[in-house]
């Protein structure tokens, strides 16, 4: 099975070649770009597991590239490559969400450690997106009334309180609650709350006793 794809963005040919050799001997695939512009024009940046991004390049520098990726809504983990004297720029990149920064020349051990951490972050983010998508599909399967009950349950309201608010019996709310739990594949109320929070559901009002 092919290894994860790592993007290398650096205007120095020798640096790109050296980093690619280190990564490829460790089982990764690489795609190399000599400028930030070339990378930003690449149509499938979402196919990578992370990008090693030189902070100081002609044209758009690393911070510009990172900003544009963020503006696109990209989730690709960024590892900044920096030379001596560029640490302030690297710190800016970290504040903007970069995973790590590496000072050139970088050792094999440090490079692989940073890339592995970035890949773990990418894998976790992909899993979260897949889970949110799956939960969203389940939410769309709820009726309007079931959705109303869900929003109130995750706000901490009791069945009796929800029944009074919606003008139905507590027994009816219990039926809706069972339907919601089943359709959402929730094995507990806490599980249901976690799914609601993950998908950004806004609970209705404050919890009631």
Taking CA atoms, 130 is separated from 116, 180, 197, in Å, by 21, 21, 15
Cβ(150)–Cβ(201) below 8 Å: yes
> Residue 5: helix, strand or coil by DSSP?
strand
At residue 2, the pLDDT reads 63
Question: Along the 209 residues of the chain, how does pLDDT read in single tens digits?
Answer: 468 999 999 999 999 999 999 999 999 999 999 999 999 999 888 788 899 999 889 889 999 999 999 998 878 899 998 887 677 888 888 888 899 988 888 899 999 999 999 999 888 888 888 888 999 999 999 999 999 999 998 888 999 999 999 999 999 999 999 999 999 999 998 899 888 888 888 766 544 44
Taking CA atoms, 57 is separated from 36, 89, 146, 189, in Å, by 7, 12, 54, 52
> Residue 30: helix, strand or coil by DSSP?
strand
At residue 179, the pLDDT reads 95
Tell me, which fold does domain 141-198 have in CATH?
Arc Repressor Mutant, subunit A (1.10.10)
Cβ(60)–Cβ(37) below 8 Å: yes
Rounded CA-CA distance 102/82 in Å is: 6
Rounded CA-CA distance 196/40 in Å is: 35
CA 27 to chain CA centroid, nearest Å:
24
Q: Which CATH number among 2.120.10.80, 3.40.50.10800, 3.20.20.80, 3.40.50.2300 corresponds to the domain 5-131?
A: 3.40.50.2300
Q: What is the DSSP string of 40-107?
A: HH-TTGGG-SEEEEESS-SSS-HHHHHHHHHHTT----EEEEE-TT-HHHHHHHHHTT-SEEEESS--
Global pTM value: 0.69
> Residue 31: helix, strand or coil by DSSP?
strand
Rounded CA-CA distance 188/34 in Å is: 52
Q: Where are the domains of the chain?
A: 5-131, 141-198
Rounded CA-CA distance 150/43 in Å is: 40
At residue 83, the pLDDT reads 80
């Amino acid at each position: 099975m092919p290894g994860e794809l790592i993007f290398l963005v650096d205007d120095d040919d020798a640096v790109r070649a050296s980093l690619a050799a280190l990564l490829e001997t460790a089982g990764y695939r690489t795609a190399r770009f000599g400028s930030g512009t070339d990378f930003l024009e690449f149509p499938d940046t979402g196919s990578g597991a992370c990008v090693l991004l030189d902070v100081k390049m002609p044209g758009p520098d690393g911070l510009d590239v990172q900003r544009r990726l963020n503006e696109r809504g990209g989730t690709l983990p960024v590892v900044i490559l920096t030379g001596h004297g560029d640490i302030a720029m690297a710190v800016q990149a970290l504040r903007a969400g970069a995973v790590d920064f590496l000072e050139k020349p970088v050792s094999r051990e440090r490079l692989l450690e940073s890339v592995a951490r970035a890949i773990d972050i990418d894998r976790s983010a992909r899993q979260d997106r897949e889970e949110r998508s799956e939960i969203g599909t389940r939410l769309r399967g709820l009726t309007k009334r079931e959705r109303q009950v869900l929003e109130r349950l995750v706000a901490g309201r009791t069945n009796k309180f929800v029944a009074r608010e919606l003008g139905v019996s507590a027994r009816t709310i219990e039926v809706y609650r069972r339907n919601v739990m089943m359709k959402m594949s929730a094995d507990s109320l806490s599980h249901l709350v976690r799914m609601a929070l993950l998908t950004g559901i806004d609970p209705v009002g404050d919890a009631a006793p």
